[in-house]
C-alpha cells in the first residue's frame, strides 16, 4: 500500500493550477537558441494512466522529459505536475514525482539496499519508515534476495528494476520514465511493462513513459505522438489507428521515380490520395484486397511487391507527418542535434 | 513475475496525498558524505594512495631535506625542515582535496548526479555532502602527515596539534569547495585536470609554503597577501611552531581562512543553484 506523507504544514505549498489531471501542459514551448525543440504543446494526462510519449529521436521528447523532471526551465508556456508549476515550484514538483532516467543512475560500488537507502534519504525518508519502504519496493521488483549484492554484479535487467525501485522509494503519485526498456532483452522488457501496469492498477500511479518504439507505444493507455517538437496525434492506440480508414496498402516499385509516377497516375485513375515513400506507394483504403487487384490490372508489370495490412501506429505517424517514423533526414539531424537534445 | 495480480483496475485514484515532507539538510548531506566515504574504502587503491603518500613523502624527502638544509628560514625549532613542514602538509591536502572533486564529474557522466538534482533535496545539502566527503579524505591524509611532525624536529604542544588539525580541516574544506566550483560545469576529467594544474601550483607556491611573504618583492608580496591559502599556511605555522615569526596574527589567519571556507562554499552553492533553460546535466 502506498504510504503517503502529509505534513501539517501542507498549506505552505499552494498549487499553481487546480486541474485534477496530474500532468498538464499548456502551450509549452522550448527553444535552444534558434532551434525550436517544443512547439506549443498542450495536452493533459489523466490519473492512473500509462501515458506514452512517442517520437523519433530529435522529436523533442527528451527535452519535454527534462522539463517535466525540473532539470530545465522551459522558455515558454506552462507545465504542471499535480498542480505545481515545473518552472517555478521545482521543490514541490520533485516531491510528487518519481523519475527513472534512461542512463543508469545507480552507484555500482554500493549494494542495492545502500542505493535505495541513499535515494530515500534524498526524499526525506529515514529510519523505520525507510526500511519498510525499501523492503516494499524490493519485493515489488522481485529483488528482495539481491538486496545485499553490489549493483555491479547484477544483470542489465535487474539494474533497471533497481532503478524502478529507486524511483518508487517515496511512493510518488507520478512516475516519469525515459526510454525505460533501452538495452533490455524481450523478457525483461515485458516484465517492466508488467510492473508499470501493476503500479497503475494497484496504486493508482500515473505513469509517463517516453519511447521511440512502436511496439511499446501499443501498451500505453494513451499516446502523444511528437514530431519535430509538435504534437501530431493524441489518443489511445486504438483510437489513433481507427482514424485511418480501412487498410494500409503498399505497392513496391523498382525505383523512387517509378513510385512517384505510379502514385500520380493512381491518383488520377482511382479516387485515392497515395503518397510515395522511397520506392513504395502507400495509401489507405477500405477493402484493401479488392483495390489491390484493380491496381495490378490497371498497371501491369509496374509493381514488384504488394502488402495489405491493418493500420499500425507507424501509419498514424506517416499519415500525420507525411514521412516515415525513421527517415534519413531524422537520422542526419539526430547527429547534428545530439549535443543539445 | 508473471503472477502479478492486477485486481483493482483504475479503482484506486486520489489515494496519493500531496507530499510536502521536505528532506532536511542533515540526512541528505550525511547520506552524500557517507557515500563518498564508502566508495573510498571500497576502492583499495585509493586507500593505499591516501595513506601511503604521506609516508612516502617522509621516507623519500624527509631524510634528504634534513641534511641538505642547515640554516635558512628556520623556525624557533632551528630546523629548516621545520619551516617547510606546514607547507608540505598543505601541499598533500591541496592535491587530495581538489582532485576528490573529480568524482563530481564522474557522478555527472554516470547519471548519478541527475537523480540527485531531480530530487527535492536542497542544493546546499548537495554541496555540503559532496564537499565534506572530499574534505574528510583530504583531512585524514593531512592528519596522518601531522602525526609525523616530531620527525621534522617540530614538537608542538597538544593545543598546537589541535589547532593544526582544525586548520587542516578548514583548508581541506575550502580547497574541496573550490574544486567543486571548478568541476561543476565540466564534463571531462581531462579538462578539470588541466584547469586545476593551472591554479594549484601558483596557489601553493605563493602561499608562504616555500618562502615568507615579507621577503618577497612588492608585487609578489601583494599576490601572496591576496592568496587566501597564505593565511592557512600561516595558521598552521602558528599551531606547530608558536615561537616562529609569522606575517599575521593567529586570529587574522583563522578569520581569513574561515572566511574563505564560506566564500568557496557560497560559490559552489551558487553554481549548483543556477536553473537554466539549458540541459542541467
Question: Which among A13, A82, A110 is the nearest to B38, CB-wise?
Answer: A110
- Contact assessment for residue A60 and residue A229, using Cβ atoms and an 8 Å cutoff: yes
- Contact assessment for residue B170 and residue B261, using Cβ atoms and an 8 Å cutoff: yes
Sign for the CA dihedral angle at B98, B104, B106, B109 comes to negative
Average pLDDT for A68-74: 92
B37 pLDDT more than 90: yes
- What is chain B's alpha carbon radius of gyration, rounded to the nearest angstrom? 23
Alpha-carbon distance of A181 to A193, in angstroms, equals 9
A294 contact partners, CB below 8 Å, separation of at least 6: A270
**Beta carbons of B4 and A114 less than 8 Å apart:** no
Q: Where does the pLDDT of residue B13 fall: very low under 50, low under 70, confident under 90, or very high at 90 and above?
A: very low
B40 contact partners, CB below 8 Å, separation of at least 6: B46, B47, B50, B137
Tell the burial category of B239 from Cβ atoms under 10 Å away from its Cβ (0-12, 13-18, 19+): buried
Which among A245-249, B193-197, B206-210, B241-245 has the top mean pLDDT? B193-197
Provide the pLDDT for residue B66. 55
Provide the pLDDT for residue A283. 86
- Strand A222-227 to A230-235 pairing: antiparallel
Give the helix/strand (H/E) hosting A81: strand A76-81
Question: Which among A4, A105, A122 is the nearest to B16, CB-wise?
Answer: A4
Instruction: Write down the residue that cell numbers 532539470 correspond to.
Output: A71
Provide the pLDDT for residue A287. 82
Sheet with strand A97-100: strands edge to edge? A97-100, A174-178, A206-211, A50-54, A222-227, A230-235
Give the helix/strand (H/E) hosting B32: helix B26-42
B10 pLDDT more than 50: no
Residue range B251-260, pLDDT digits in tens: 999 999 999 9
**Is the CB of residue B21 less than 8 Å away from at least one CB of chain A?**
yes
**Beta carbons of A122 and B23 less than 8 Å apart:** yes
Per DSSP, chain A holds a count of helices (H) and strands (E) of 12, 14
Provide the pLDDT for residue B270. 92
Q: Where does the pLDDT of residue B15 fall: very low under 50, low under 70, confident under 90, or very high at 90 and above?
A: low
Contacts A–B by Cβ distance under 8 A: 169
Alpha-carbon distance of A71 to A64, in angstroms, equals 10
A10-14, B14-18, B151-155, B208-212 — which is least confidently predicted? A10-14
A141-145, B63-67, B90-94, B140-144 — which is least confidently predicted? B63-67
- Collapsing DSSP to helix, strand or coil, A74 comes out as coil
Residue range A6-53, pLDDT digits in tens: 333 444 456 666 578 999 999 999 998 888 999 999 999 999 999 999
Q: What does pTM read for this prediction?
A: 0.80
Report chain A residues whose CB lies below 8 A from the CB of B35. Answer: 107, 110, 118
Among A48, A74, A152, pick the best mutation site for testing chain B contact (most B Cβ within 10 A).
A48
- Contact assessment for residue A211 and residue A217, using Cβ atoms and an 8 Å cutoff: yes
Report the gap between the CA of B123 and the closest CA in chain A (Å). 11
Average pLDDT for B107-134: 92
Question: Which among B114, B121, B277 is the nearest to A73, CB-wise?
Answer: B277
Residue range A293-337, pLDDT digits in tens: 888 888 888 888 888 888 888 888 888 887 777 654 444 444 444
**Beta carbons of B1 and A194 less than 8 Å apart:** yes
B52: its cell numbers: 601511503
Nearest to A232 by CA among A325, A104, A164, A303: A325
Q: What percent of chain B has pLDDT over 70?
A: 83
- Contact assessment for residue B36 and residue B103, using Cβ atoms and an 8 Å cutoff: yes
Amino acid at each position: 500500500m502506498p504510504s503517503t506523507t502529509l505534513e501539517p504544514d501542507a498549506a505552505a505549498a499552494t498549487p499553481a493550477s487546480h486541474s485534477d489531471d496530474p500532468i498538464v501542459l499548456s502551450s509549452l514551448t522550448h527553444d535552444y537558441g534558434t532551434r525550436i525543440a517544443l512547439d506549443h504543446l498542450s495536452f493533459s494526462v489523466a490519473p492512473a494512466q500509462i501515458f506514452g510519449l512517442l517520437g523519433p529521436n530529435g522529436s523533442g521528447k527528451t527535452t519535454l522529459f527534462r522539463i517535466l523532471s525540473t532539470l530545465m526551465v522551459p522558455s515558454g508556456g506552462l507545465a504542471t505536475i499535480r498542480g505545481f508549476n515545473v518552472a517555478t515550484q521545482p521543490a514541490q514538483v520533485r516531491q510528487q514525482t518519481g523519475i527513472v532516467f534512461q542512463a543508469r543512475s545507480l552507484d555500482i560500488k554500493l549494494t542495492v539496499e545502500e542505493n535505495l537507502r541513499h535515494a530515500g534519504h534524498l526524499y526525506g525518508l529515514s529510519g523505520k519508515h525507510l526500511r519498510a519502504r525499501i523492503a516494499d519496493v524490493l519485493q515489488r521488483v522481485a529483488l528482495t534476495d539481491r538486496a545485499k549484492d553490489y549493483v555491479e554484479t547484477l544483470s542489465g535487467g535487474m539494474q533497471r528494476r533497481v532503478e524502478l525501485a529507486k524511483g518508487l522509494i517515496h511512493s510518488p503519485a507520478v512516475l516519469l520514465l525515459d526510454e525505460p526498456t533501452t538495452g533490455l532483452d524481450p523478457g525483461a522488457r515485458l516484465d517492466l511493462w508488467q510492473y508499470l501496469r501493476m503500479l497503475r492498477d494497484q496504486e493508482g500511479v500515473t505513469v509517463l513513459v517516453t519511447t521511440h518504439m512502436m511496439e511499446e507505444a501499443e501498451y500505453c493507455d494513451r499516446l502523444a505522438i511528437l514530431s519535430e517538437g509538435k504534437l501530431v496525434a493524441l489518443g489511445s492506440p486504438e483510437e489513433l489507428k481507427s482514424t485511418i480508414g480501412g487498410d494500409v496498402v503498399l505497392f513496391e516499385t523498382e525505383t523512387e521515380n517509378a513510385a512517384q509516377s505510379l502514385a500520380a497516375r493512381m491518383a488520377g485513375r482511382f479516387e485515392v490520395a497515395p503518397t510515395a515513400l522511397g520506392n513504395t506507394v502507400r495509401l489507405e483504403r477500405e477493402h484493401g484486397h479488392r483495390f489491390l487487384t484493380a491496381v495490378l490490372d490497371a498497371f501491369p508489370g509496374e509493381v514488384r511487391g504488394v502488402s495489405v495490412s491493418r493500420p499500425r501506429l507507424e501509419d498514424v505517424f506517416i499519415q500525420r507527418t507525411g514521412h516515415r517514423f525513421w527517415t534519413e533526414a531524422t537520422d542526419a539531424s539526430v547527429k547534428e542535434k545530439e549535443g543539445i537534445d | 513475475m508473471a503472477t502479478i495480480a492486477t485486481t483493482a483496475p483504475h479503482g484506486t485514484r486520489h489515494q496519493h496525498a500531496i507530499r510536502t515532507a521536505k528532506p532536511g539538510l542533515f540526512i541528505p548531506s550525511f547520506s552524500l558524505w557517507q557515500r563518498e566515504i564508502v566508495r573510498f574504502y571500497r576502492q583499495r587503491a585509493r586507500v593505499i594512495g591516501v595513506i601511503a603518500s604521506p609516508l612516502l613523502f617522509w621516507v623519500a624527502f624527509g631524510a634528504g631535506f634534513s641534511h641538505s638544509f642547515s640554516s635558512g628560514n628556520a623556525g624557533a625549532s632551528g630546523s629548516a625542515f621545520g619551516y617547510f613542514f606546514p607547507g608540505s602538509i598543505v601541499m598533500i591536502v591541496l592535491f587530495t582535496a581538489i582532485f576528490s572533486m573529480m568524482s563530481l564529474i564522474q557522478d555527472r557522466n554516470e547519471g548519478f548526479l541527475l537523480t540527485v538534482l531531480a530530487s527535492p533535496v536542497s542544493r546546499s545539502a548537495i554541496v555540503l555532502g559532496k564537499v565534506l566527503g572530499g574534505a574528510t579524505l583530504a583531512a585524514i591524509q593531512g592528519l596522518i602527515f601531522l602525526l609525523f611532525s616530531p620527525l621534522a624536529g617540530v614538537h608542538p604542544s597538544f593545543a598546537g596539534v589541535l589547532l593544526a588539525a582544525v586548520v587542516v580541516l578548514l583548508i581541506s574544506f575550502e580547497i574541496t569547495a573550490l574544486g567543486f566550483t571548478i568541476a561543476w560545469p565540466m564534463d571531462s576529467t581531462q579538462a578539470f585536470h588541466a584547469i586545476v594544474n593551472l591554479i594549484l601550483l601558483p596557489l601553493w607556491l605563493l602561499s608562504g609554503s616555500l618562502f615568507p611573504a615579507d621577503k618577497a618583492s612588492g608585487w609578489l608580496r601583494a599576490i601572496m597577501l591576496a592568496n587566501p591559502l597564505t593565511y592557512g599556511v600561516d595558521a598552521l605555522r602558528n599551531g606547530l611552531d608558536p615561537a616562529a615569526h609569522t606575517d599575521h596574527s593567529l586570529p587574522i589567519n583563522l578569520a581569513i581562512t574561515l572566511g574563505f571556507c564560506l566564500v568557496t562554499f557560497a560559490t559552489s552553492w551558487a553554481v549548483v543553484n543556477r536553473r537554466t533553460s539549458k540541459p542541467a546535466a
